[in-house]
């Protein structure tokens, strides 16, 4: 694909809205909106191919491996049953390339795709497309929609370009995917990375400012240094031993927003247990059972924005091992939370 040839671009699925109570403070709302798309670190994300040529499937496997090679705490595992997969990948050549954002995939029917690839992934541009769509599933939005980018568009030319071949988007799709600025609540930091894998290619004439991109914006492809730093910060590699959680003994936690604490549970007897957090913090609490060395999701709860604590019950079996993970959105007035099972 030549530099001046119009390129097909990702046409992502709309966000799944969440309802937050009236009167919630702006700092609390920002953290909930910003962090709710991210996975609990240590999660194994299972993916399944809904058909597709072998070469295209292999390109996607390679893209998952490239993200994992950064040393992040997430794992990716291919499975043969779509019902076991959080990520279901289609290769409908008439539907463009797209993905849902982050944990929004959990709200999609078990037989429906959460990601699609609409063009060849074996080229350099295709490789970047595969990395891009996986980036969405990890929680990354489009980079050019960063409200801090300072981009001034030639809107008429933007509409002309994207409503034409090969994208053939409607004006509404063009606005949503290009011109619309993401809410500041959904953006980390204040800098724009024009080299990001989440950036589009733009020909000359679409960007008026910054002037250096008036002749076009052509990201180099692949994961930029900023992309890599984001992945390692959001999903740091799991190192060291995991402390044990003892029944009826609460553990106080002082976590920064987005940070996480993990605990091993070896239940002393087989019965139904309650697992929960305490305090005014907003958290997501997730329980995994180790099966053949892999943590498999068992139960979880998210209390963000609500006047309650994360709490659920689960039957735990003596002799089996479980991992409890708690990730913080907002620390509440005390700046602390606690976790216990009983």
CATH of the domain at 300: 2.60.120.680
Q: Which of 234, 268, 289 is the last residue in one of the domains? A: 234
Residue 248 is given by DSSP the state T
Q: CA-based angle 70:75:76, to the nearest 5? A: 105
More confidently predicted of 331 and 80: 80
Domain that holds residue 191: 26-234
Q: Are residues 179 and 291 in the same domain?
A: no
Asked, for residue 1, whether it belongs to a domain, the answer is: no
Q: Which of 234, 260, 277 is the last residue in one of the domains? A: 234
**Residue 15 in tokens:** 């966000």
Q: Are residues 126 and 230 in the same domain?
A: yes
Q: Are residues 46 and 195 in the same domain?
A: yes
* Least confident stretch, 31-45, 65-79, 139-153, 180-194: 180-194
CATH of the domain at 48: 3.40.390.10
Q: Are residues 207 and 283 in the same domain?
A: no
Rounded to an integer, the average pLDDT of 282-294 is: 95
Asked, for residue 10, whether it belongs to a domain, the answer is: no
Other Cβ atoms closer than 10 A to 264: 14
Asked whether the predicted pLDDT for residue 334 surpasses 80, the reply is no
Rounded to an integer, the average pLDDT of 136-165 is: 95
| Residue 3 pLDDT | 60
| Residue 184 pLDDT | 79
Domain count, the chain: 2
Asked, for residue 245, whether it belongs to a domain, the answer is: no
| Residue 240 pLDDT | 83
Q: CA-based angle 283:284:286, to the nearest 5? A: 140
Q: Are residues 77 and 226 in the same domain?
A: yes
Asked, for residue 19, whether it belongs to a domain, the answer is: no
Closest CA to 53 of 129, 100, 130, 122: 122
User: What is the DSSP code string of 4-43?
Assistant: TS------PPPP------TT--HHHHHHHHHHTTSPPTT-
Query: Band of the pLDDT at 1, cuts 50, 70, 90?
Result: low
Q: Are residues 331 and 205 in the same domain?
A: no
- Report the alpha-carbon distance of residue 184 to residue 162 in Å, rounded: 25
Residue 211 gets the label, from left (phi > 0), alpha (psi -120 to 50) or beta, of alpha
Asked, for residue 68, whether it belongs to a domain, the answer is: yes
């Amino acid at each position: 694909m030549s530099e001046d040839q119009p390129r097909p671009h990702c046409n992502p699925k709309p966000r799944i809205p969440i309802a937050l109570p009236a009167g919630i403070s702006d700092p609390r709302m920002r953290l909930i909106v910003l962090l709710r798309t991210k996975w609990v670190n240590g999660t194994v994300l299972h993916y399944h191919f809904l058909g597709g040529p072998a070469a295209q499937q292999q390109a996607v496997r390679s893209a998952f491996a490239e993200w994992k090679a950064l040393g992040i705490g997430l794992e990716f595992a291919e499975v043969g049953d779509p019902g076991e997969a959080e990520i279901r990948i289609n290769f409908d050549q008439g539907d463009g390339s797209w993905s849902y954002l982050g944990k929004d995939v959990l709200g999609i029917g078990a037989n429906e795709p959460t990601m699609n690839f609409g063009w060849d992934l074996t080229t350099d541009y295709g490789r970047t497309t595969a990395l891009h769509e996986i980036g969405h599933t990890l929680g990354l939005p489009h980079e050019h929609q960063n409200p801090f980018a300072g981009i001034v568009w030639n809107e008429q030319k933007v509409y002309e370009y994207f409503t034409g071949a090969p994208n053939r988007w409607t004006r509404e799709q063009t606005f949503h995917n290009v011109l619309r600025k993401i809410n500041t609540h959904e953006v980390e930091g204040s800098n724009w990375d024009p080299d990001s894998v989440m950036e589009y290619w733009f020909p000359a004439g679409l960007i008026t400012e910054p002037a250096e991109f008036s002749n076009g914006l052509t990201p180099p492809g692949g994961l930029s240094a900023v992309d890599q730093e984001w992945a390692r910060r959001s999903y740091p590699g799991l190192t060291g031993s995991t402390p044990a959680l003892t029944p009826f003994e609460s553990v106080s936690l002082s976590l920064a927003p987005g940070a996480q604490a993990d605990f091993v549970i070896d239940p002393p007897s087989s019965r139904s247990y309650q697992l929960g957090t305490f305090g005014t913090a907003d958290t997501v609490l997730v329980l995994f059972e180790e099966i053949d060395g892999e943590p498999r999701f068992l139960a979880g709860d998210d209390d963000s924005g609500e006047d309650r604590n994360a709490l659920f019950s689960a039957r735990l079996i003596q002799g089996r091992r479980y991992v409890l993970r708690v990730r913080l959105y907002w620390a509440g007035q005390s700046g602390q939370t606690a976790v216990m099972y009983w």
